[in-house]
Structure 1
Amino acid sequence: MYVCSCFGVTDKQVKEHAAAGACTPRQIASATKAGTDCGSCVRTIQGLLGRGACPRRELLEKGKAPAVALAPDSELAESQLAEAA
């Protein structure tokens, strides 16, 4: 099923990125662009990600820096860096 019709991103792709460590819609957007155009898919992405354990949140709670793949030279990358700090 397509989650993001603007960029042709499927629920399978979102789940694969989540399994690889993406915990937030911003991280999914950084990897796939889903949610960066009209934004109507963001709630669906949030639903797919759920509220389960997130390695990134666990690292932040322990005071360790997360290892997050960032899109080079993007506003999302800059906001993720600020969010991780």
Structure 2
Amino acid sequence: MFVCSCFGVTEEQVKSHAEAGACTPRQIASACKAGTDCGGCVRRIQALLGRGSCPRRQLIDQGDSSLAAKLPEAA
């Protein structure tokens, strides 16, 4: 299912970027441009990110920000 019609980004692509370390809509936008045109998909992206776990966020919550800094950024 498409999340971003402007750039043809699917739900699976957003999930894939999230698994690779993108934890925010801004990081998703950096990875695939979703949310950078009309902005109509940003809430959907937020909902998708809110459902899964974010490795970086989990490490920060555990107090290990040094490891979180080593995780790859969304390109």
Aligned residue in 1 for 2:57: 57
- Backbone CA RMSD of aligned residues: 1.8
The CA deviation at 1:69 is: 2.4
Distance 2:21 2:33 in 1: 16
- Structure 2 residue runs of 5 or longer lacking an equivalent are none
Identical aligned pairs, as a percentage?
A: 70
Distance 1:40 1:18 in 2: 19
**What is the identity, as a one-letter code, of the residue corresponding to 2:4?**
C
What TM-score does the superposition give when structure 2 sets the normalisation length?
0.76
Q: Which has the higher contact order (CA 8 A, sep 6+)?
A: 2
Contact 2:19 2:54 in 1 (8 A): no
| Mapping for residues 72-83 of structure 1, pairs under 5 Å | none
Stretches of 4+ aligned residues off by more than 4 angstroms:
none
Give the 3-state SS of the residue equivalent to 2:40 in structure 1: coil
- Structure 1 residue runs of 5 or longer lacking an equivalent are 72-85
What TM-score does the superposition give when structure 1 sets the normalisation length?
0.68
